[in-house]
Amino acid sequence: MKKNLVLFALFIFPIVAYLFFATGVNKFMFLPTVTPNIPDIGNWHSLSGEQVTLNKKITILGFTGNDILFNKGNYFNLNQKIYLKNQAFKDFQFVMIAPEGTQDDVKKVLKGLSDLSDESKWLFVFAPEKEIKTFYDKLKLKGKLDSHYGTKNVFIIDKKRSLRGRKDKDEYKEGYDASSPSDLYNEMTDDVKVILAEYRLALKRNNADRQI
């Protein structure tokens, strides 16, 4: 019993304290699940031809639509407010689902991002428009894709492929408006901290259990 208390003091309590102070507006230590077990990416591939997966990754998921250059400011907002602060986390990635035929526009966006940061965890995957809509519908969200098969919202997906978000009164916040720096800074920054700390806590707990 005494050994367990010592382990708690050394490993668990500091993480719990961090979660408490990091949550800010949320006032909760774990980010609620909005949609459990969403599908994986499937056979879609990135610019380099590699297959991308959501499994065992903390993913910021987005849908670019075919007007990528018109909305390029959204990606720079995300890069500055979210990506730069968290890119060092080993299992963290950005996955943007884009319609087939937009590869050249994506290359231009990535070139701009590479001037600001290491863009290696920015992954754009390409799929037919109808398949994008089918995949999006399986997220079971209230918001819909626009006529360009995109949305300005981005979503937090955990390592078990569950879509996570904050609960405000009786409503879940499904996504975060990438066109709004204040939405990213005031809410998404906070929620990403929570989910990353959640996994750090799980890692600390597993390490402590091995030592008992």
* The dihedral sign for the CA sequence 197, 162, 26, 91: positive
pLDDT higher at 35 or 166: 35
pLDDT digits (tens, 9 = 90+) for 180-210: 999 999 899 999 999 999 888 866 666 555 5
pLDDT, average across residues 26-34? 71
The span from the first CA to the last CA of the chain, in angstroms, equals 10
Cβ(54)–Cβ(41) below 8 Å:
yes
Q: Kindly tell me the burial class for residue 2, based on how many C-beta atoms sit within 10 Å of its own C-beta (0-12, 13-18, 19 or more).
A: exposed
Residue 168: its pLDDT value, please?
66
Residue 173's pLDDT band (cuts 50, 70, 90): confident
Kindly state the tokens that stand for 56.
Answer: 């065992």
Q: Is the pLDDT of residue 14 over 60?
A: no
Residue 172's pLDDT band (cuts 50, 70, 90): confident
Q: Where are the domains of the chain?
A: 2-211
Range of 42-46, 86-90, 104-108, 173-177 with top mean pLDDT: 104-108
Fold of 2-211: Glutaredoxin (3.40.30)
The enclosing H or E element of 207 equals helix 189-211
Taking the C-alpha atoms of residue 121 and residue 84, their distance in angstroms, rounded to an integer, is 10
Taking the C-alpha atoms of residue 11 and residue 207, their distance in angstroms, rounded to an integer, is 9
User: 8-37 in b/e burial notation, b at 16+ Cβ within 10 A?
Assistant: eeebeeebeeebeebbeebeebebeebbee
